Structure 1
Amino acid sequence: MRLDHAAVIGVGALALVLWWWRSRSDPRRARLPPELRSACLVYSERLFKSAGPVSISARVDKVYRNAAGVLVLVELKTREKNRTYQSDVIELSAQRVALMAHTGDAVADFAYIVIERPDGFRMGCHRVRLMAHADVISLAIRRGDLFAGKVEPQAICSSGLCRKCAFVRPCDPPWR
């Protein structure tokens, strides 16, 4: 009888160790920053919309609720280089505006960008500070005015960025 009791305890301990090891080695969790590895995933690949003078629609990649109850955005990017861009910050900031408006929940003023190569190798996880709500709305208004032809586009000082822009011909940047 004593041997059976020891076996049950041993199997239980083994199951606990295996569960702990698997939860720590889960590749999906390993891509996250340490503060989010124990957080709860609350939204994945979901569209949110804000109302108001400017309506913003944004699809989030992942949203986690951290230990303090605050929602944290995580964007997954596939790239050859381990770097973030201002367009990533703009995208996540718009997601924050739409998510806050839609849910009414507190959303962190920072987010994470997880970067992987096309072969799936994780290159990095970057914490970025998000734009203020008013700045996102101003940017959305300017974008609308540009598309409506109400304002003229301004050339940027980076010829590399200009060459990739869809508006390079009508803009006629000074470096050409």
Structure 2
Amino acid sequence: MRLDPAAVIGVGALAVILLWWWRSRSDLRRARLPPELRSACLVYAECLFQSTGPVSISARVDRVYRNAAGVLVLVELKTRETNRMYQSDVIELSAQRVALMAHTGDVVADYAYIVTERPDGFRMGCHQVRLMAHADVISLATRRGKLFVERVEPQTTCSSGVCRKCAFVQSCDLPWV
């Protein structure tokens, strides 16, 4: 069987184009990271971790990178219409840190990154956030547990926007809901 030279050249060209496309996509994803993590090693992606103790915290991480100093750094990917982070993001990442440290015993940075992009894939920004202390995460988880079994009274928020999105808004008697 004789190979057609034009077909061989065409297949070769297609392979080069596919390789270029794959590498450019990989470079684009890496460019979305903060400069500190562009040369870091991806250690975990979409993994579940759990802490043990009086309060058990389970958390699924989006991405965890090992930086040049050997410290693990959490990265949360968010698809949003606006380039901003929320306090709930900090709580989520802080819980991830507690679960990851307890599960692996590794040192995890006390800061993390939130990378935002629009639904169309356009990258908007990268926010570095300071994570909550371990004791504060445990305290928050304990209070949440007590709220669900109605051992403590819920507190109001200073943000009417948060109230409007609350699952309990119908049973609330705040003036702005």
Q: TM-score range by the shorter chain?
A: 0.7 to 0.9
Equivalent in the alignment of 1:9: none
Equivalent in the alignment of 2:41: 40
Whole-angstrom CA distance in 2 between matches of 1:130 and 1:91:
9
Whole-angstrom CA distance in 2 between matches of 1:39 and 1:24:
17
Whole-angstrom CA distance in 1 between matches of 2:61 and 2:176:
37
1:23-62 aligned at under 5 Å gives the runs 26-62=27-63
**Cα deviation code 1:50-97 (max 9, x no counterpart):** 000100000000000000000000000000000000000000000000
Equivalent in the alignment of 2:172: 171
Give the secondary structure class of the aligned counterpart of 2:147.
Answer: helix
Equivalent in the alignment of 1:79: 80
Equivalent in the alignment of 2:102: 101
Equivalent in the alignment of 2:10: none
Whole-angstrom CA distance in 1 between matches of 2:25 and 2:46:
24
1:90-169 aligned at under 5 Å gives the runs 90-169=91-170
Q: Percent identity?
A: 85
Whole-angstrom CA distance in 2 between matches of 1:160 and 1:33:
30
**Cα deviation code 1:8-32 (max 9, x no counterpart):** xxxxxxxxxxx9xx58970110110
* Partner amino acid, structure 2, of 1:107: V
Unpaired stretches in structure 1, ≥5 consecutive residues: 1-18
Whole-angstrom CA distance in 1 between matches of 2:49 and 2:147:
24
**Cα deviation code 1:86-136 (max 9, x no counterpart):** 000000000000000000000000000000000000000000000000000
TM-score normalised to structure 2 length: 0.84
* Partner amino acid, structure 2, of 1:72: V
Whole-angstrom CA distance in 2 between matches of 1:173 and 1:152:
14
Whole-angstrom CA distance in 1 between matches of 2:174 and 2:132:
27
Q: Which moved more, 1:154-163 or 1:140-149?
A: 154-163
Aligned residues: 157
Shift of 1:170: 2.8
Unpaired stretches in structure 2, ≥5 consecutive residues: 1-19
Shift of 1:167: 1.5
Equivalent in the alignment of 1:7: none
Whole-angstrom CA distance in 2 between matches of 1:79 and 1:25:
22
With over 3 angstroms needed to count, the CA separation of the structure-2 counterparts of 1:34 and 1:139, relative to structure 1, is: same
Give the secondary structure class of the aligned counterpart of 1:26.
Answer: helix
Shift of 1:152: 1.1
Checking the alignment, whether the CA contact within 8 Å between 1:62 and 1:75 is kept in structure 2 is yes
